[in-house]
Amino acid sequence: MSKTATHHPAESSKPTSAPLLPADSEGSALSLRLKQYLKPQDIDQIWDGYRFAYQAHDGVVRKTGEPYIIHPVSVACILADLHMDTPTILAALLHDVVEDTPITTDDIKEKFGQQVAELVDGLTKLDKIEFQSASQAQAENFRKMLLAMSQDVRVILVKLADRLHNMQTLEAMKPEKQRLIAKETLEIYAPIANRLGLNAIYQELEDLSFQYLYPMRFRAISKAIKAARGNRKEVVSKILESIKQQLTSLNIEAEVSGREKHLYSVYKKMAGKTTSFSQIYDIYGFRVIVKDLPGCYLALGALHALYKPIQSKFKDYIAIPKANGYQSLHTTLFGPFGTPIEVQIRSKEMHNIADAGVAAHWLYKASDAQLTALQQQTHQWLQRLLDIQSESSDSLDFLEHLKIDLFPDEVYVFTPKGTILSLPKGATAVDFAYAVHSDIGNSCVAVRINQDLAPLRTELHNGDHVEIITGALAKPNPAWLNYVVTGRARAHIRHFLKSQQSTESGHLGERLLNKALRALHVEPSQITEEHWQKLIRDYGLKMKSEILTDIGLGKRQNVMVAHQLVAMTDDHLEKHTKLPAMSLDTITIRGTEGMAVQFAQCCRPIPGDPILGFINKDKGLVIHTHDCPSVRKFKLDPDKWLDVEWEPENQRLFKTNLNLTVANQPGMLAKIAAGIAEAGSNIDNVSVEEADGSAYANLFFTVQVQNRIHLADLMRSLRKIPDVVRINRTKGNQNGGSTKGNGAKQSSQ
CA distances from 533 to 510, 528, 569, 715 (A): 16, 9, 13, 55
Q: CATH number, domain at 357?
A: 3.30.460.10
pLDDT at residue number 129: 37
Percent of the chain exceeding pLDDT 90 equals 20
pLDDT at residue number 275: 61
Tell me the pLDDT band of 546, cut-offs 50, 70 and 90: confident
pLDDT at residue number 247: 93
DSSP letters of 511-567? HHHHHHHHHTT--GGGS-HHHHHHHHHHHT-S-HHHHHHHHHTTSS-HHHHHHHHHH
Consecutive H or E run containing 162: helix 154-168
pLDDT in tens, 255-290: 998 877 788 888 887 776 666 665 565 667 899 999
Residue 100 catalytic?
Answer: yes
Domain edge (last residue) among 620, 646, 672: 646
Inter-residue long-range contacts of 421-426, CB under 8 Å, 24+ positions, other chains counted: 422/322, 422/323, 423/460, 423/486, 424/485, 424/486, 426/459, 426/485
pLDDT at residue number 378: 65
Is 373 contained in some domain?
no
Other CB atoms within 10 Å distance of the CB of residue 593: 18
The C-alpha atoms of residue 357 and residue 232 are separated, in whole angstroms, by 32
Domain extent, residue 694, equals 654-730
pLDDT in tens, 414-433: 888 888 787 888 899 999 99
Q: Identify the active-site residue in 99, 184, 467, 546.
A: 99
pLDDT at residue number 12: 34
Burial class of residue 271 (count of CB atoms within 10 Å of its CB; 0-12, 13-18, 19+): exposed
pLDDT at residue number 712: 92
Q: Identify the active-site residue in 42, 81, 100, 459.
A: 100
CB within 8 A of 713, min separation 6: which ones? Answer: 679
pLDDT at residue number 14: 34
Mapping DSSP onto H, E and C, the string for 253-317 reads: CEEEEEEECCHHHHHHHHHHHCCCHHHCCCCEEEEEEECCHHHHHHHHHHHHHHCCECHHHCEEC
Is the confidence at residue 439, as pLDDT, over 80? Answer: yes
182 shares its domain with 62: yes
Going by their DSSP bridges, the two strands 254-260 and 284-290 should be labelled as antiparallel
Is 667 contained in some domain?
yes
The C-alpha atoms of residue 511 and residue 589 are separated, in whole angstroms, by 11
Is 659 contained in some domain?
yes
Mark residue 456 as left, alpha or beta (left: phi above 0; alpha: psi -120 to 50; beta: remaining). alpha
161 shares its domain with 12: yes
Domain edge (last residue) among 461, 485, 509: 485
538 shares its domain with 602: yes
The C-alpha atoms of residue 722 and residue 525 are separated, in whole angstroms, by 61
Q: CATH number, domain at 458?
A: 3.10.20.30
Tell me the pLDDT band of 359, cut-offs 50, 70 and 90: low
296 shares its domain with 432: no
Percent of the chain exceeding pLDDT 70 equals 74
pLDDT at residue number 406: 57
In contact, 18 and 74? CB cutoff 8 Å: yes
468 shares its domain with 515: no
606 shares its domain with 684: no
pLDDT in tens, 495-507: 887 777 677 777 7
Q: What is the largest CA-CA distance in the chain?
A: 108
227 shares its domain with 301: yes
Q: CATH number, domain at 58?
A: 1.10.3210.10
346 shares its domain with 481: no
Tell me the pLDDT band of 562, cut-offs 50, 70 and 90: confident
Which comes out higher in pLDDT, residue 96 or 234?
96
CA distances from 428 to 433, 435, 461, 535, 732 (A): 9, 11, 9, 46, 32
Q: CATH number, domain at 678?
A: 3.30.70.260
Give, in degrees to the nearest 5, the angle at Cα 246 between 245 and 252.
100
pLDDT at residue number 10: 40
Domain edge (last residue) among 167, 183, 213: 213
Is 144 contained in some domain?
yes
pLDDT in tens, 583-618: 455 677 766 656 567 788 888 888 888 888 887 665
Number of domains observed in the structure of the chain: 5
The C-alpha atoms of residue 156 and residue 192 are separated, in whole angstroms, by 9
Residue 118 catalytic?
Answer: no
Most confident of 85-94, 326-335, 545-554: 85-94
pLDDT at residue number 236: 80
Is 478 contained in some domain?
yes
Helix runs in 407-486, H state only? 429-436, 438-442
Computed over every residue of the chain, the mean pLDDT equals 78
pLDDT at residue number 261: 76
Mark residue 682 as left, alpha or beta (left: phi above 0; alpha: psi -120 to 50; beta: remaining). beta
The C-alpha atoms of residue 355 and residue 265 are separated, in whole angstroms, by 17
What does the DSSP 8-state code read for residue 187? I
Is the confidence at residue 23, as pLDDT, over 90? Answer: no
pLDDT in tens, 60-97: 888 777 888 888 999 999 999 888 889 999 999 998 88
336 shares its domain with 196: no
Which comes out higher in pLDDT, residue 412 or 88?
88
pLDDT in tens, 474-488: 888 888 888 888 878
Is the confidence at residue 371, as pLDDT, over 70? Answer: no
Tell me the pLDDT band of 248, cut-offs 50, 70 and 90: very high
275 shares its domain with 292: yes
In contact, 484 and 426? CB cutoff 8 Å: no
Is 392 contained in some domain?
no
Average pLDDT over residues 679-688: 87
Is 383 contained in some domain?
no
Which comes out higher in pLDDT, residue 4 or 449?
449
Tell me the pLDDT band of 444, cut-offs 50, 70 and 90: very high
Is 740 contained in some domain?
no
Q: Where are the beta strands (DSSP E) in 387-541?
A: 410-414, 420-424, 444-449, 452-454, 466-470
* 3-class DSSP assignment, residue 382: helix
pLDDT at residue number 749: 34
94 shares its domain with 134: yes
pLDDT at residue number 328: 92
| Of the listed ranges 336-340, 389-393, 745-749, the one predicted with least confidence | 745-749
245 shares its domain with 209: no
b or e along 112-122 (b: 16 or more beta carbons within 10 Å of the residue's beta carbon)? beebbbbbbbb
End-to-end CA distance of the chain: 87
In contact, 357 and 325? CB cutoff 8 Å: yes
CA distances from 544 to 505, 537, 549, 561, 619 (A): 13, 10, 9, 12, 20
